[in-house]
Structure 1
Amino acid sequence: MRTDTPVTIRRQNYLPFPYDIATVRLEFDLDPADTQVRSQLEVRRTGEGPLVLNGEDLELVSVQVDGRDWAGRYQVDGDTLTLDGLGTQARVEIVSRCRPEANSALMGLYVSNGVFFTQCEAEGFRRITWFPDRPDVMSRYSVVLRADKKRFPQLLSNGNLVKQADLADGRHEAHWEDPFPKPCYLFALVAGALTWRESRMRTRSGREVLLQVYSDPGSEGKTQYALESLERAVRWDERRFSLELDLDRFMIVAARDFNMGAMENKGLNIFNAAYVLADPESATDANFSAIEAVIGHEYFHNWTGNRVTCRDWFQLSLKEGLTVFRDQEFTADMMAQGLDAQAAASARTVKRIDDVVTLRAAQFPEDAGPMAHPIRPESYQEIGNFYTATVYEKGAEVIRMQQTLLTPAGFTRGLAEYFRRHDGQAVTCDDFVAAMESVYAQDHPGRDLSVFRRWYSQAGTPRVRVTIEHDAATRRCTVTLAQRCEPVGVERLPGAPAKQPFHIPFAIGLLDAQGRPLPLKQADGHEVRDTALLELTTEHAQWTFENIDARPVPSLLRDFSAPVIVEYDYTDHELALLMRHDGNAFARWEAGQQLATRVILAATRERQEGRPFALHRDFIEAWRSVLTAPGLDAAYRARALTLPSEKTLAEHMAKVDPVALAAVRDETLGALGRALADDWRAAVQANQTPGDYSPDPISAGKRALKNLALATLMAGRVDGATEQALGQYDTARNMTDRLSALSSLVNFGAADASARVLADFYERWQDDPLVVDKWFTLQATARGTTVQTVEGLMTHPAFSLRNPNRARSLVFQFCLNNPYGFHRADGSGYRYWASQVLALDALNPEIAARLARALDRWVRYVPELSEPMRQVLQQVRSHPGLSRNVTEIVSKALEIAA
């Protein structure tokens, strides 16, 4: 763990590395306690200065240059190895040792359940061998792995297997070659006793390729869906973007201990087992969906991230934002596959809703907090802290806006141009936009993306104020858009440049008083059927529409055409009308969310003032209209009837009182359960899914609506709901239904009933780690859980803080998703947070820093909560030996937020 004083790295200080390293040969003698690594680098000088290599937690054994001992001509200074006196070209050979078994940070080479794994992004390769650990140094790798054959029968690395052999001492070796140059962060090896499932397929050019999914013995029955998802991803990328798998084989390996979701190492993707292993009995619909999305994401990186990679880590969104967009499109297409046009459109809307819900719950708060940064940051102290919702989810929205501006066909041409220009290179976000701009300029003469580039350099979520003016005499309607974006994060510090307007594609429709769409004819003669795309590039602009008889009801930011906050003074009546009639399904969902937000926030204020809770009849009827409306599929109705999350609601409060907000949201849910009890019961009955389980979108949608209905009945304490939930738990034939029933019982049922089913659930699934994670999560987020409950669960034999999945399932879930227990007025939740951040920091600073983010917006809370938050933040910051990862988070929280 590094405990040195944090140094700020700035994008403007980038300099190319002064050496090319054309080839890298690595030889590993693998031993869990003491692994020897011999690296051979072919280097060529391209600039001035010595050869400086990075290393961390390594024992240096020897250094040779062109076969000669280089002792006396190199220096080790902390985490750098400097070699002087090299000629224009040299062969550098370094022997070092590392200790994978003791590597609790899970970065570099480590051992999990007796299997060797690597994780090198962003700066883990330096924990394996001395090397210039930066993404712009691209080399061709050949790798030799040696290990005991009985303990480690599978020896895997990047690229293609070229040779295997048994050795005389009971060991064996495997030789791998990757034909494509890559940065060291894409290096990978796996060695251990693994089982696998495989298939062969032909690419569009006729090449036969081998696809394999590896996992620990006994889990091979849970890898079929992962393999099928990989096959679908390969085919989709060929069809959608003409991108073909470029290796002879593609491997996925499931790891039980992994810091992230997955890693796109060239040809050898290493995954958190949670995103590989699934069957109907142990995985939910959400798990199946996540597996397909994450497998698609990592496979798509083969081109958007691997074939073309980042020049430096400031460009992280170049690969991550683009690839999140690609996996979102892949999932939307898979959800719509085989459906008729109407059902396919609804399926795509459901996916869009899910993406926006994630963005608003995670990225919007980040964009308003002390860690706010553009999708291309200007500086960082620890790059591991910038694998954020902004880089990923907002980055995807910035890519999506480019597709909106170029059209899908134009975007595909732009992506092809990007690869034509930069295949095999390490490039920047500007290079990507320039390729897109070349197509945009062809299709829009005289225009460019110069204003659009500000999305890459400015932080914060723009707000767009909408004004509608109607002139009955001329039958003209004028729409005015005005944007603003307040300084956030480091932009609030003295000397920060002033914010400039963004280029915002803003999709709008107009409805008449009966909810019918109006044709949109602009004053310049341009006419569209029902949706106009307005491009706002200045602080404010106006558009006029002709032949509008009466003041219309606007349908704003259709399909969420830009990641902005819309400000428009809707009446409750207008929102209810949009809920019932808007032809844009996303905008229809949005109207319901706005109405629910308005109701819950008003009730929260009343509760804080001591007034009783009461749900207005108009809101109940608006909810009934969606629940009983004909022609809406179950998946869409499930989303439309889900109340906004507490995190999303909190963004609308000047000072957040999380307990009061959560209580009102629960009361709203309960009131809806009681008022619409018969309709919810009907929804439960109408959305049963008999027969064998399938994760297909139609079946998953029915389960989503059925289980939402059951949870709402339970929240309302409706007669018979507990018996129905118990019956569903006992008879469920899939994990989705069983877990949903259990969740309802734990959160809204009697203590004895929930205790029984929790005990039964653990008894059934105690040997499946991924299901035990679910068991911990249910209790961590339960409304009655306290710090004492969580501390008791941490003593359970199944809990280990060293396992990231287990830590996330209990500690993270309590601190991030349990407002009742975490935000207790006595401050016990915050003191618990501090103790766990410090405990994790001693084991795994990257995971600790993610938990540290739980309090980075402490100033947003009511004073009686913000003050104890500030105190524990100061306690953590003053702790001796704190890692750079956590230091950056808590320091910015205290200095910038205040």
Structure 2
Amino acid sequence: MRDAQPSTIFLSDYRVPDFLIDSTTLRFELGEDSSLVSSVLALRRNPDAKTSDAPLQLHGTELELISLSIDDRLLADSEWSQSGEQLTIANVPASFSLRCETRIRPQDNTSLEGLYKSSGMFCTQCEAEGFRKITYYLDRPDVMSVFSVEIIADQSRYPVLLSNGNLTSKETLSDGRHKTIWQDPFPKPAYLFALVAGKLSVVEDQFVTTSGRRVDLRIYVEEKDLDKCDHAMLSLKNAMRWDEDVYGREYDLDIFNIVAVDDFNMGAMENKSLNIFNTSCVLAKPETTTDAGFQRVEGVVAHEYFHNWTGNRVTCRDWFQLSLKEGFTVFRDAAFSSDMGSPTVKRVEDVTLLRTAQFAEDAGPMAHPIRPDSFIEISNFYTVTVYEKGAEVVRMIHTLLGPELFRKGSDLYFERHDGQAVTCEDFVLAMEDASGIDLTQFRNWYSQAGTPQLVVSGSYDEQAQTYRLDVAQSCPATPGQAVKAPFHIPLAMALVGEAGQLPLQLADAPANTETADNTEMVLSVNEQTQSFVFTGVKEAPVPSLLRGFSAPVKLNFEYSRDQLLRLMRNDTDGFCRWDASQQLGLAEIKRAITNLATGKAVAPDPEYINACRELLDDTSLDGAMVALMLQLPSEAYLAEIIHPVDVHGIHQAREALRTALASALSGELHACYSRCESDEAYVPDAAQIARRSLKNTVLSYLMLLDDEQVVALAIGQFENSSNMTDRLAALNCLVNSNAEYKAKALQRFYQQWQHEPLVINQWFQVQAMCRLPGTLETVQGLMSHPAFEIRNPNKVRALIGAFCGQNGVNFHREDGAGYRFLADQVLVLNRSNPQIASRLLVPLTKWRKYLPAAQQLMRSELQRVLAEPELSSDVFEVVSKSLQEYQ
């Protein structure tokens, strides 16, 4: 805990390590009260280091040091010293063997970093700096070592003992214990170390690689969860085949293990050959898991597997380069998920996350480039900027180079850097060298924070048959970066006429990328202002801009209502078609806000109603896409558009508009619901997911009509559905209604699923996100529920996180009670799990966006948190930066 202001670490201060570790031998004796860890490190001075007489400085925290020796000579206490997390040995040879014995207490480790216990099982989480809680080590990603690991534990309590690499020895000991020895032939940094010991059951399968090698696949879970592993196993095999086909990357060991853990700060961890997963990202079956849950399992399994090359075989030099592995891997898992399902729906979902969470981060006190310049606590930089915006930056390179040159660049990157710890610059350089395309200006995406804004205008000259696009780019100031250089922005576009897309020809030069029929282009926007003139345009077109969301920017083009309606009805680009529906919805919400403020009724534009009616009636369209287009812009997105944010005004206007649409489209909604009903066996494929998505979107509209027949429809769906997607959707509708049945529904749901923790998390979440008054009191009551455990991150996210982060109308209560509640929980978690505490704090950090009264209340709670005398560095960094301008 903090006894002084934590120090800031700067990218500019990076120095190569003074020492390297050629091999690491670990021995664990796992016990119920404590565990003994013995390490033997083969160390030598780094020939690339500038100093030849530097002391050895190892990282370690919360360790009880038993002994320390060099080349089998026990060191006296006077030969080493310790300060904070650093153990220093002043005089060491050029190369030597360091033996260290420590005692740790995993059962008391509530931070869930290092070695800890979850549901009676030992497991690890070492990224980013958890390994220093296991033994003294050079805990930095650019120190890579070959590991050999011996694990000894009670055989009856812990029959399964796992670590990285290959199992080379297994032995039963005479005292009731047993041991295993694991050797990983691939050098890795300490953050990729993993250990699991517990009473686990296993699901096994095999995968045959392109070269004909057989890989044993195993998923370890509690026995009760054996029936929930099939989807994860199928997803793993699909990901392995996809990585071979698309990237030419074959798996490199004979075994791949996954372990499901209930207490986990992250979604999953890509430890070499031993991936440790949050149970929510591996367990799935129709009765307990929603469609979104199935898709999450598929995406996360693929993500962690893809890390084998983008993160493990080639890792990051330092933690400032985190997006090197995470951005590239998120890009890869998004492409995989698109190929497995609906590419357009996947793209819209990714853009929605960017526009709400990531754009908000860019506009807030924690704004940072995808390669940050500094940090206090690295765990605070596992952010949507590093991951999601990082993926968008890789996607832009893919767009600028095209698929073939991008693949050539990735092949060169792997060839050059296999077995190395490298930088974002190394990745971009490989892409440049393979393609011959200059990405010098593009590098600004790595070093500059903030969301660029494009202001675009268009003009048509009927006589000359030309269409001109004028583009201006800018980027708002962010903390520490007042002035921004222009970005290199790929702007994918088309011109839409009455009968479809028009042929494109630039007056001066061809664009970087064209389709075969020359109706789409990618314009390189790399100056503050630019103009593009298209010739041979035979009619006044509507520009379809930022197709596929080709860059993570805010686009401002003054579309008329009729232009948006044309794009919504006819655009061939699914993203632009959806985006047009959102812009029309945004205009209707703004009009509703004005009407309510002046005492007028909310009446949607008839043309907008007709466009929605056409969507409902058109059975040829993708149902999932129709569902997305019918959903109005979320309150979170509206909070990024309308300033200052009047949470309650926005909520009331949006709900009034939804109710008016439901009333105007009642007949079409009923007909659509009936068409979507089906009794076929559940399959989580694109077609069924689309149908359920549309059906449940329609039901949420119909429930606004306060009609007894609709309530009966929701009750019937809740009681009779055999899959969790439909059942949970019906429960959500009932909880947000005045139906008397909702209390019974919540009770029945809990009684049926009380032995399934992941389902109960959904039960908590439904109640936490209820829009009706009194939800805060409901959440406070649920904090005392026997099924809630504040030390379990999944439950904290489901109840506290869902309420504070996704229930704006109740979190932003005018009396400030929601803010006080969040600050109280942050202070509690600060003492046990600082990572989770700092992430929960995010809703309060956006205080400057809201009305003055809310600002004052939110700021007061941040100041109360900052006044805590024993504040963790994780929480201190977030809260101090949030208040920085006012200190």
Confirm or deny a common fold (TM above 0.5). Answer: yes
Q: Could you say which residue in structure 2 is the equivalent of 1:534?
A: 523
Instruction: Give SS of 2:883's match.
Output: helix
Return the alpha-carbon distance in structure 2 between the equivalents of residues 236 and 558 of structure 1.
25
- How far apart, in 2, do the equivalents of 1:468 and 1:667 lie? 34
| 2:712 aligned residue | 723
2:43 counterpart SS class? strand
Q: Structure 1 residue 475 and structure 2 residue 465: aligned?
A: yes
Equivalents in 2 of 1:608, 1:86: separation in Å? 75
**Which whole-Å deviations, capped at 9, do the CAs of 1:426-477 have from their partners, x for residues lacking one?**
0000000000011221xxxxx5000000000001111111111222221111
Q: Please state how far the C-alpha of 1:838 moved relative to its aligned partner.
A: 0.3
Q: Report the residue type matching 1:420 in the other structure.
A: E
- 5 Å-filtered alignment, 1:562-601, equals 562-601=551-590
**Aligned partners of 2:560 and 2:207: how far apart in 1?**
56
Tell me which residue corresponds to 2:625.
636
- The Cα shift of 1:4 comes to 4.3
1:6 match:
6
Whether 1:709 aligns to 2:714 is no
User: Are 1:357 and 2:352 an aligned pair?
Assistant: yes
Q: Would you say the 8 A contact 2:692–2:726 is kept in 1?
A: yes
Q: Provide the rounded CA distance (Å) in 2 between the counterparts of 1:130 and 1:589.
A: 53
Once the 2 structures are TM-superposed, how far is the Cα of residue 611 of structure 1 from its aligned partner?
A: 4.1
In 2, the alpha carbon distance for the partners of 1:364 and 1:721 equals 37
In the other structure, the counterpart of 1:277 is: 283
How far off its partner does 1:287 sit? Answer: 0.4
Report what 1:522 is aligned to.
506
Query: Which of 675, 678, 691 does residue 689 from structure 1 map onto?
Result: 678
1:510–1:554 CA contact under 8 A, matched in 2? yes
In 1, Cα distance between the equivalents of 2:779 and 2:253?
47
Deviation at 1:693, TM superposition (A): 0.6
Task: State how far apart, in whole Å, the 2-side matches of 1:3 and 1:400 are.
Answer: 43
Please show how residues 65-144 of structure 1 align to structure 2 within 5 Å. 65-71=70-76, 72-144=78-150
Q: How many residues align?
A: 875
Q: Distance in 1 between matches of 2:886 and 2:540?
A: 43
Give secondary structure in 2 for the equivalent of 1:490: coil
SS of alignment partner, residue 491 of structure 1: coil
Q: Which of 404, 424, 429 does residue 429 from structure 1 map onto?
A: 424
Equivalent in 208, 223, 226 of residue 220 of structure 1: 226
For 1:334 and 1:820, locate their aligned partners in 2 and report how far apart those are by CA, in whole Å. Answer: 36
Question: Structure 2: how far apart are the matches of 1:491 and 1:603?
Answer: 37
User: What is aligned with 1:28?
Assistant: 28
Report Cα offsets for 1:650-699 as digits up to 9, x if no partner: 11111001122122222222211111011111111111232211000100
CA deviation digits over 1:403-424, x for unaligned, max 9? 0011111111100000111000
Note the alpha carbon deviations across 1:202-238, whole angstroms, 9 max, x for none: 1111111101001112111111111111111111101
Displacement of 1:819 = 1.8
2:778 maps to 1:789:
yes
In the TM superposition, what are the counterparts of 1:344-743 in structure 2 within 5 Å? 347-441=342-436, 447-492=437-482, 498-512=483-497, 514=498, 516-524=500-508, 526=510, 529-718=518-707, 720-743=709-732
User: 1:210 is matched with which residue: 180, 198, 216?
Assistant: 216
Residue 609 of structure 1, CA deviation: 4.7
Residues 835 and 454 of structure 1: CA distance in aligned 2, closer, same or farther (over 3 Å): same
Match of 2:750 in 1: 762
Partner of 2:332, secondary structure, is helix
Give the 3-state SS of the residue equivalent to 1:615 in structure 2.
Answer: coil
The runs of at least 4 aligned residues of structure 1 exceeding 3 Å deviation read 1-4, 524-528, 608-612
Aligned partner letter, 2:605 = H
Contact 2:767 2:775 in 1 (8 A): no
SS, match of residue 530 in structure 2: strand
**Cα pair 2:764 2:799 within 8 Å, conserved:** yes
Is contact 2:581–2:629 with CA below 8 Å preserved after alignment?
A: yes
Q: Could you tell me how far apart the structure 2 residues matched to 1:196 and 1:3 are?
A: 46
Contact 1:3 1:883 in 2 (8 A): no
Amino acid corresponding to residue 59 of structure 1 in structure 2:
E
State how far apart, in whole Å, the 2-side matches of 1:4 and 1:198 are: 51
Deviation at 1:896, TM superposition (A): 4.3
Do structure 1's residue 18 and structure 2's residue 8 form an aligned pair?
A: no
Displacement of 1:153: 0.3
* In the alignment, structure 1 residue 286 sits paired with structure 2 residue 276: no
After superposition, the CA RMSD in angstroms is 1.3
Partner of 1:59: 64
Counterpart of 1:342 in structure 2 is none
**Which string of whole-angstrom CA distances, capped at 9 and with x for unpartnered residues, describes residues 500-532 of structure 1?**
0000000111122x2521111222474753211
Structure 1 gaps of 5+ residues are 336-346, 442-446, 493-497
Task: Select between 687-696 and 526-535 the one with higher mean Cα deviation.
Answer: 526-535
**2:456–2:472 Cα contact (<8 Å) kept:** yes
Task: Give how far 1:2 is off.
Answer: 5.3
Aligned match of 2:767 in 774, 779, 791?
Answer: 779
**Aligned counterparts, 1:799-814, within 5 A:** 799-814=788-803
TM-fit CA distance, 1:718 = 4.1
8 Å contact kept, 2:492–2:521: yes
State how far apart, in whole Å, the 1-side matches of 2:480 and 2:94 are: 43
| Partner Cα distance (2:729, 2:499) in 1 | 36
Contact 2:2–2:869 (CA<8 Å) still a contact in 1? no
Q: Which amino acid aligns with 2:186?
A: F
Aligned to 1:50: 55
Asked whether 1:185 is paired with 2:169, we answer no
Which of 875, 883, 886 in structure 2 is aligned with 1:894?
Answer: 883
Q: Deviations over 1:98-129 (max 9, x none)?
A: 10000010000000110001000001000000
Q: Does the aligned pair in 2 maintain the 1:136–1:183 contact within 8 Å?
A: yes
TM superposition shift of 1:719 = 5.1
Ranges in structure 2 where 5+ consecutive residues have no aligned partner: none
> Which of 242, 248, 251 is the matching residue for 1:236?
242
CA shift, 1:490, in A, is 2.9
